[in-house]
Amino acid sequence: MIYGEQSVYLSPFNMKYILMKAYVFPGQGAQFSGMGKDLFDSSEVAKELFLKADEILGFEIHKIMFYGTDEELKQTKITQPAIFLHSTILAACLGDSFQPAMVAGHSLGEISALVANKTLRFEDGLNLVHKRALAMQKACESVPSTMAAIIGLEDTLIEDICAGIDGVVVAANYNCPGQLVISGETSAVEEACAKLKEVGAKMAVLLQVGGAFHSPLMESAREELAKAIEATEFSTPICPVYQNVTASAVSDPNEIKKNLIEQLTSPVRWTQTMQQMIADGATEVVEVGPGKVLQGLFKKVDRSFATSSATLDSVG
């Protein structure tokens, strides 16, 4: 039986040993100074792709990634392409060992996943990420907005509280059971945090972000990015992608494109994505890119679930 690019022999006695690796790609917030330098120094494939990225973007982003300050790396126009490059170049370096049964990415990471599973060309993915970052930055500057992490409440209660606030505040990132990020106008988010603490939230903390990602306040960015996405060729992937908007497996290029357009103003359904991947047979998750945040979130869903990081040790 074949799952994606992986195959195992099945008999009535070994059904439980099916190997189905899920590869996941992190989003904004996982950046760090020095990211990707080990790849650049060790792999000609990586070096070629980093230099190609410099040419596409019109500046030497690899030098900012390797030697830039934390403040430089926090700029949305740098952060998003930097994380994308670290993830997609690492995936490219894995060579034949990259055998996904399924992929997914958290927010920005969804574009990395779409390059890794061959829906998008590397160059097209980078162009979309660059335009996404600039469009989101512009939208953030149009109205005072923010996000906040809510810990220790049921999702439905948070949704109900947000719905009763006068102003724009919505559930934005369903990160794992008991952890949800809300997003919207600063005053509305602050009011929601106060009310959520009153009803028992363990934490309701404003995040240091540029604005209200994955909320209706990103509509202008969605419209701008939609034009770029519509003009980009999407191919049939080598394995399904579990998209943020649907939290379900998608293989049709037109559907993938539609969901990606809706992503900026829709919540990241990561909790539901993890649950669905496991329900669909994932036996292990491999995080491709900086950090281990997504592995930790999978452990919140199922402590016994196998997780690992893609590293140079796994590069052939």
If DSSP states are collapsed to H, E and C, what string results for the chain?
A: CEECCEECCCCCCCHHHCCCEEEEECCCCCCCCCCCHHHHHHCHHHHHHHHHHHHHHCCCHHHHHHHCCHHHHHCHHHHHHHHHHHHHHHHHHCHHHCCCCEEEECCCHHHHHHHHCCCCCHHHHHHHHHHHHHHHHHHHCCCCEEEEEEECCCHHHHHHHHHCCCCCEEEEEEEECCEEEEEEEHHHHHHHHHHHHHCCCCEEEECCCCCCCCCHHHHHHHHHHHHHHHCCCCCCCCCCEECCCCCCEECCHHHHHHHHHHHHHCCECHHHHHHHHHHCCCCEEEECCCCCHHHHHHHHHCCCCEEEECCHHHCC
Asked about 266 being catalytic, the answer comes back as: no
In this structure, the answer to whether residues 90 and 224 fall within a common structural domain is yes
Residue 105 lies in a domain: yes
In this structure, the answer to whether residues 75 and 150 fall within a common structural domain is no
- Which domain-ending residue is among 159, 186, 206? 206
The per-residue pLDDT for 314 is 52
Query: Is pLDDT above 70 for 309?
Result: yes
In this structure, the answer to whether residues 136 and 166 fall within a common structural domain is no
Mean of the pLDDT values across residues 232-254?
Answer: 98
Residue 194 lies in a domain: yes
Residue 186 lies in a domain: yes
Task: Check which CATH number belongs to the domain holding 52 and give it.
Answer: 3.40.366.10
In this structure, the answer to whether residues 194 and 244 fall within a common structural domain is no
Q: Which of 296, 232, 294, 292 is nearest to 258 (CA)?
A: 232
Residue 202 lies in a domain: yes
- From 183, 214, 215, 266, the catalytic residue: 214
Instruction: pLDDT band for 250, please (50, 70, 90 cuts).
Output: very high
The per-residue pLDDT for 19 is 79
The per-residue pLDDT for 2 is 31
- From 86, 87, 106, 107, the catalytic residue: 107
Report the share of the chain in percent with pLDDT over 70.
93
Instruction: pLDDT band for 104, please (50, 70, 90 cuts).
Output: very high
Looking at every residue in the chain, the average pLDDT score rounds to 92
Query: Is pLDDT above 60 for 133?
Result: yes
Judge contact between 119 and 235, C-beta under 8 A. Answer: yes
Helices 76-93 and 109-116: crossing angle in degrees, nearest 10, is 30
Query: Is pLDDT above 60 for 55?
Result: yes
**Residues forming a β-bridge with 183:** 147, 170
The per-residue pLDDT for 10 is 38
Joined together, the tokens standing for residue 4 give 């994606």
In this structure, the answer to whether residues 43 and 179 fall within a common structural domain is no
Judge contact between 267 and 214, C-beta under 8 A. Answer: yes
Asked about 214 being catalytic, the answer comes back as: yes
In this structure, the answer to whether residues 14 and 109 fall within a common structural domain is yes
The per-residue pLDDT for 18 is 60
In this structure, the answer to whether residues 54 and 195 fall within a common structural domain is no
- Which domain-ending residue is among 158, 186, 206? 206
Residue 53 lies in a domain: yes
The per-residue pLDDT for 8 is 38
Joined together, the tokens standing for residue 32 give 């760090």
- Which domain-ending residue is among 188, 206, 224? 206
Residue 197 lies in a domain: yes
Residue 211 lies in a domain: no
In this structure, the answer to whether residues 169 and 230 fall within a common structural domain is no
Number of folded domains in the chain? 2
Query: Is pLDDT above 60 for 211?
Result: yes
- Write phi, then psi, for 195 (nearest 5 degrees): -70, -35
Mean of the pLDDT values across residues 148-153?
Answer: 98
In this structure, the answer to whether residues 101 and 37 fall within a common structural domain is yes
Query: Is pLDDT above 50 for 269?
Result: yes
The residue range of the domain holding 51 is: 2-140+216-314
The per-residue pLDDT for 17 is 47
Mean of the pLDDT values across residues 75-104?
Answer: 95
Residue 76 lies in a domain: yes
Query: Is pLDDT above 50 for 5?
Result: no
The per-residue pLDDT for 209 is 86
In this structure, the answer to whether residues 68 and 171 fall within a common structural domain is no
In this structure, the answer to whether residues 86 and 181 fall within a common structural domain is no
- Top pLDDT among 15 and 100 is at 100
Q: What is the pLDDT of residues 59-72, one digit of tens each?
A: 999 999 999 999 89
In this structure, the answer to whether residues 198 and 89 fall within a common structural domain is no
Instruction: pLDDT band for 4, please (50, 70, 90 cuts).
Output: very low
Task: Check which CATH number belongs to the domain holding 199 and give it.
Answer: 3.30.70.250
- How far CA 5 is from CA of 19, 91, 310, in Å, comes to 11, 15, 17
